Amino acid sequence: MGKTDPLDALAIADFARAQKITTEPWRGAQFLALQRLTLHRLHVVNSIVREKAYALNNIYLKFSELAVINDREERPFSNRYSVTAEGVLTNFLTLEDIAESSLEELVDFVRDKGRNRFVDPEYTAKLLQKAARDSHRLDKVLYEPINLAIASSFNIIQALQQEIKIIDKGIEKQYKGLNANQFQCLLSIPGIGATFSSGILSEIGTITAFSSNDKLAKYAGLTWRIKQSGPYTADVTRMTKTGNKYLNSILATKLLNYFWETPQAS
């Protein structure tokens, strides 16, 4: 009997009629759809990182101390890209406007922009004025263009952050129909949320595709080179960095965060 499309369809249908098909249909298209969203999310996140780095250059030009202070006790804001920080950078044209403002006005501004979330807005206002006094000065003609550039960067960052929310909703819609048990298992791991779980599933498809932990680790690029010469075997070698780069990035990031947050595990 020759092999033709009608005969193939007939054979498959007859095989299914006899209930001899026990495997589930391959859902590659659904994994691919999820993968496109998770990869696009990574692209948008990288765009935010680049825009923040670019904005920091302009922030340094206008308000040098705000850009370089890393001491938690001395910096006014924990996040240089927060709503309050944006308000300070875009509403005050020059540093003199901040330094010469009355403490009461600055406290009200910080309290309003921070929506009363600052524990001690007066202390924050004092740090802000100190940072303004300690920052280097620019020619007045430069402040307006730099303000415009900073405001534009904040608008871009906010727009991209809104896109992240939309993408996350799309990811949620996709992962709900895929490997519910495996997805819940990933969520049970401390530090692994829905987004990272979706990224992992979109790259490996299903855990049953790997017959051992070693094969999954090799696919993710989480293996180390073997350096051996005669009876000598090196204890410390470099990571191979082969395999799926995106999966490697997800797992490596979470491993670093885990060891950073739990020093006793390192």
Rounded CA gap, 204 and 172, in Å?
A: 18
Each residue's pLDDT expressed in tens, for the chain with a length of 266 residues: 555 677 777 777 777 766 665 555 555 778 888 889 999 998 999 999 999 999 999 999 999 999 998 888 888 998 999 999 999 999 999 999 999 999 999 999 999 999 999 999 999 999 999 999 999 999 989 999 999 999 999 999 999 999 999 999 999 888 877 767 888 888 888 778 888 888 888 888 878 878 888 888 888 888 877 777 777 777 777 877 778 888 888 887 766 666 556 555 44
121 located within any domain: yes
1 located within any domain: no
Judge whether 167 and 44 are in contact, CB under 8 Å: yes
Indicate whether 58 and 79 sit together in one domain. yes
Indicate whether 147 and 208 sit together in one domain. no
Indicate whether 132 and 52 sit together in one domain. yes
Indicate whether 186 and 117 sit together in one domain. no
Indicate whether 138 and 192 sit together in one domain. no
Rounded CA gap, 201 and 171, in Å?
A: 11
Whole-Å CA distances, 196 to 165, 176, 212, 219: 15, 14, 22, 17
Indicate whether 126 and 60 sit together in one domain. yes
Rounded CA gap, 92 and 95, in Å?
A: 7
- Domain end (from 140, 175, 210): 175
Condensed to tens digits (0 to 9), the pLDDT of residues 101-146 reads: 999 999 999 999 999 999 999 999 999 999 999 999 999 899 999 9
- Domain end (from 158, 175, 192): 175
102 located within any domain: yes
What's the chain's length in residues? 266
Indicate whether 72 and 146 sit together in one domain. yes
19 located within any domain: no
- Domain end (from 152, 175, 198): 175
9 located within any domain: no
Indicate whether 96 and 123 sit together in one domain. yes
Indicate whether 74 and 190 sit together in one domain. no
Judge whether 225 and 237 are in contact, CB under 8 Å: yes
Indicate whether 170 and 211 sit together in one domain. no
Judge whether 131 and 65 are in contact, CB under 8 Å: yes
H/E run at residue 6: helix 5-17
Indicate whether 156 and 97 sit together in one domain. yes
Structure tokens at 5: 């499309």
Q: 243 lies in which domain range?
A: 180-265
Indicate whether 156 and 200 sit together in one domain. no
